[in-house]
Structure 1
Amino acid sequence: MAKGFGSEDAAQDEIEGAVGDAVRRAQDALPHGVSRTRCEECDAVIPEGRRNALPGVRLCVQCQEIQDQAQGPQSAYNRRGSKDSQLR
């Protein structure tokens, strides 16, 4: 077993913390509340199946895809700032 900057438990805690942060960010990004019947961008009808599957939905599928592409990919960030993780 190789020894580095910390123990295996510390590395596992770091992984669990990063995963937990990502899950919380994803949950916070989900809409909440009552779904709209029409898209707030283009005024298209939002199908009932989409409204039921995603409570609080405000955009049709096409407008949601455009918004998602405009936001770009979410980048992971280095929580600890250790030299090893910066070398990836």
Structure 2
Amino acid sequence: MATGWAGDGAVQDQIDATVDDAVARARRQLKHGPGLTRCEECDAPIPEARRRAVPGVRLCVACQQAQDEQEQGLSSINRRGSKDSQLR
């Protein structure tokens, strides 16, 4: 079924690109190597259990949570809004 200028698989291509971007972003955020014993932000001790569970950990739970909340607020990409106009 023709949908204007968009090809038949345009919507699925958009979904695939969004998922691929999210996976790539998550992989870039993964830490590698040994974790720190003290938080690099507040110098609080990082428990051994957290260091085993999260390879390459650099922040305590409180600082990691604050960083995650800050990054979540910065993520304002609206891929769907920018491409929907092209699909119509």
> Do both share a fold (TM > 0.5)?
yes
Shift of 1:58: 0.2
Q: Distance in 2 between matches of 1:82 and 1:43?
A: 45
Counterpart check, 1:12 vs 2:12: yes
SS in structure 2 at match of 1:43: coil
Structure 1: segments with no counterpart, 5+ residues? none
Identity among equivalent pairs (%): 52
Counterpart check, 1:45 vs 2:45: yes
Q: Deviations over 1:14-55 (max 9, x none)?
A: 211111011111111122221111111122111112111110
Residue identity in the other structure for 1:59 = L
Which one has a larger percent helix, Structure 1 or Structure 2? 2
Higher relative contact order (CA 8 A, sep 6+): 2
Instruction: Quote the RMSD (CA, aligned, Å).
Output: 2.6
Residues 65-76 of structure 1: pairs in structure 2 closer than 5 A: 65-71=65-71, 72-76=73-77
Structure 2: segments with no counterpart, 5+ residues? none
Q: How many residues align?
A: 85
Residue identity in the other structure for 1:29 = Q
